[in-house]
Amino acid sequence: MTQTATRQEHEPVLEPLDETVDPIPGSPAGCLILHYGDYECPYLGQAFRAIERVEQEMGGGARFAFRHFPLTGVHPHALAAAAGAVAVRPRVRDLASGRIASPSEGVSMASSLSIDVFNSGYKPIPGGLGWDDSSPATWPASTSTLISGDRDALLVDALLTTSEGERLAAWVQDTGKRPRAIFVTHGHGDHFFGAGPVLDAFPDAQLVACDQQVVDEARGQTAPEVMAIWNSWFAGQFSQSPAVPALTSSREFDLDGHPLLFRTIGAADGALATIVHVPEREAICSGDIVYNNIHMWLWNSTPDSRQAWLASLDAVAALKPSTIITGHKDPDAPDDNATRVLDQSRRYIEDFDRAVAKSSTPREVIDVMLAKYPAYGNRYTLFAAAFTQFPS
Ligand SMILES: [Zn+2]
């Protein structure tokens, strides 16, 4: 095939750029990089990083524009992502055809998107049923993730105690970014009771969830009988009237031009699990669906609930992330590699399931799991889970 033939093959489907209707930042004299892509493409993040390197090497002599090209045949969510990203633009045309967007539909990407993680570390709690007292019992280390554009940000989850919330607020303030919302992944108190100090520091930020069931489960955590359970662990350390998330109006969040997607996944550790998907970075904030080097909250789980949790892991894996920020993460975990944390979470649930089936006492389950996972953080979680499997 000659060069000419190759060029002809591609040229007719690309409409020329018209800067009168689609202004691109930067000097018109600079080299323009026009990128056609779709947000569900697993290679899009790599392409953006390559383009960033080119822009840096050209020292400001390059301009960049992004044009939606949703490959709906292979990427079932690409069209929705593209439609969400251009929804605010007045001249959106027939995206449903899957054809290349016209110049008026082009979206210029903001220059940067960063993901930063705050880890609470472990907090001492009373040991309770079955704890062996060989060391102080602790609550699992938890994360709060700040996804930032050039100016604005989205904070994912907001920890538990007031002092954690204060440290989190100071950490966010240090970044200089302005959180427009705090997204709550699921309705367990250890992921939003700490939001108060952050909301005080950023009064314009909204505390939100993307599914009515998460809102309802979060509200359920503030019922007196549930607050009594939280108080048995953390009396005097957290707000007795915590803010409860409100339902978002949209599942797509435009962060300075970068689309973030809120998705309901399914069951996990006892509450409906939702996630934040950052397609441009192939990243997911998984809440408590996935764990990183830390014992998993299988308290009161059943064979059926464990199967449902495995299905949720599969649903996250199907999004093909490279990075997963897990809701609970050992502070010394080596990285946020998606394949590793998905594999280890799947294996952990299957091992626990088998250990329970083969054992007749909690101690047997604990011994099997500690032998398989000697370096995992927060043994208390395993003790609590094992004791609920053998009610006396
Ligand atoms: Zn949790």
- CA angle, corner 143, sides to 182 and 123, nearest 5? 120
- Give the span between the Cα atoms of 213 and 230, in whole angstroms: 20
Q: Where in the sequence is the domain holding 23, given as residue range(s)?
A: 3-105
Q: How far is the CA of 192 from the centre of ligand 1 (A)?
A: 10
Q: How far is the CA of 328 from the centre of ligand 1 (A)?
A: 6
Mean pLDDT (whole number) for 62-73:
60
Does 101 lie in the same domain as 83? Answer: yes
Q: What's the structural domain count of the chain?
A: 2
Asked whether the predicted pLDDT for residue 97 surpasses 60, the reply is no
Confidence band, pLDDT 50/70/90 cuts, at residue 109: very low
Does 165 lie in the same domain as 146? Answer: yes
Confidence band, pLDDT 50/70/90 cuts, at residue 34: low
Does 94 lie in the same domain as 153? Answer: no
What is the average pLDDT value for the chain, to the nearest integer?
83
The larger pLDDT score, comparing residue 38 to residue 110, is at 38
Asked whether the predicted pLDDT for residue 8 surpasses 60, the reply is no
Q: How far is the CA of 386 from the centre of ligand 1 (A)?
A: 17
The larger pLDDT score, comparing residue 32 to residue 301, is at 301
Mean pLDDT (whole number) for 326-353:
98
Q: How far is the CA of 35 from the centre of ligand 1 (A)?
A: 39
Predicted confidence (pLDDT) per residue in 369-383, tens digit: 999 999 999 999 999
Q: What is the CATH number of the domain that holds 219?
A: 3.60.15.10
Q: Which amino acid is at 165?
A: G
Tokens coding 26: 């930067």
Does 171 lie in the same domain as 218? Answer: yes
Q: How far is the CA of 126 from the centre of ligand 1 (A)?
A: 18
Q: How far is the CA of 2 from the centre of ligand 1 (A)?
A: 58
DSSP letter assigned to residue 302: -
Boundary (domain end) residue, out of 105, 131, 155: 105
Does 208 lie in the same domain as 84? Answer: no
- Which of 92-106, 117-131, 321-335 is predicted most confidently? 321-335
Q: What is the pLDDT of residue 108?
A: 40
Q: How far is the CA of 191 from the centre of ligand 1 (A)?
A: 6
Show the DSSP H helices in the chain as ranges.
3-10, 44-57, 78-86, 162-175, 195-201, 212-220, 224-234, 303-317, 338-358, 362-372, 379-388
In percent, the amount of the chain with pLDDT more than 90 equals 68
Does 68 lie in the same domain as 131? Answer: no
Q: What is the pLDDT of residue 71?
A: 64
Does 262 lie in the same domain as 165? Answer: yes
- Give the span between the Cα atoms of 146 and 181, in whole angstroms: 10
Q: How far is the CA of 42 from the centre of ligand 1 (A)?
A: 28
Boundary (domain end) residue, out of 54, 85, 105: 105
What stretch of H or E contains 261?
strand 258-267
Q: How far is the CA of 119 from the centre of ligand 1 (A)?
A: 13
Q: How far is the CA of 269 from the centre of ligand 1 (A)?
A: 8
Q: How far is the CA of 266 from the centre of ligand 1 (A)?
A: 15
Mean pLDDT (whole number) for 259-266:
98
Confidence band, pLDDT 50/70/90 cuts, at residue 59: low
Q: How far is the CA of 174 from the centre of ligand 1 (A)?
A: 25
Tokens coding 346: 């799947």
Rg, C-alpha atoms of the chain: 23
Q: What is the pLDDT of residue 133?
A: 76
- Give the span between the Cα atoms of 29 and 109, in whole angstroms: 19
Q: How far is the CA of 297 from the centre of ligand 1 (A)?
A: 8
Predicted confidence (pLDDT) per residue in 215-259, tens digit: 999 999 999 999 999 999 999 999 999 999 999 999 999 999 999
DSSP letter assigned to residue 185: S
Asked whether the predicted pLDDT for residue 20 surpasses 70, the reply is no
Q: How far is the CA of 33 from the centre of ligand 1 (A)?
A: 43
Q: Tell how strand 206-209 and strand 246-247 pair up.
A: parallel
Q: 0.95 cut: is pTM over it?
A: no
Confidence band, pLDDT 50/70/90 cuts, at residue 265: very high
Q: How far is the CA of 255 from the centre of ligand 1 (A)?
A: 25
Q: How far is the CA of 327 from the centre of ligand 1 (A)?
A: 6
DSSP for 103-114, written as a single string: GGG-BPPPS--E
Does 211 lie in the same domain as 124? Answer: yes
- Give the span between the Cα atoms of 251 and 268, in whole angstroms: 20
Confidence band, pLDDT 50/70/90 cuts, at residue 33: low
Does 240 lie in the same domain as 96? Answer: no
- Give the span between the Cα atoms of 124 and 110, in whole angstroms: 42
Q: How far is the CA of 178 from the centre of ligand 1 (A)?
A: 25
Q: How far is the CA of 186 from the centre of ligand 1 (A)?
A: 8
Mean pLDDT (whole number) for 58-79:
59
Predicted confidence (pLDDT) per residue in 137-184, tens digit: 999 999 999 999 999 999 999 999 999 999 999 999 999 999 999 999
Tokens coding 351: 């091992």
Does 67 lie in the same domain as 193? Answer: no
Does 364 lie in the same domain as 321? Answer: yes
Boundary (domain end) residue, out of 75, 105, 135: 105
Q: What is the pLDDT of residue 294?
A: 98
- CA angle, corner 101, sides to 1 and 70, nearest 5? 75
Does 290 lie in the same domain as 311? Answer: yes
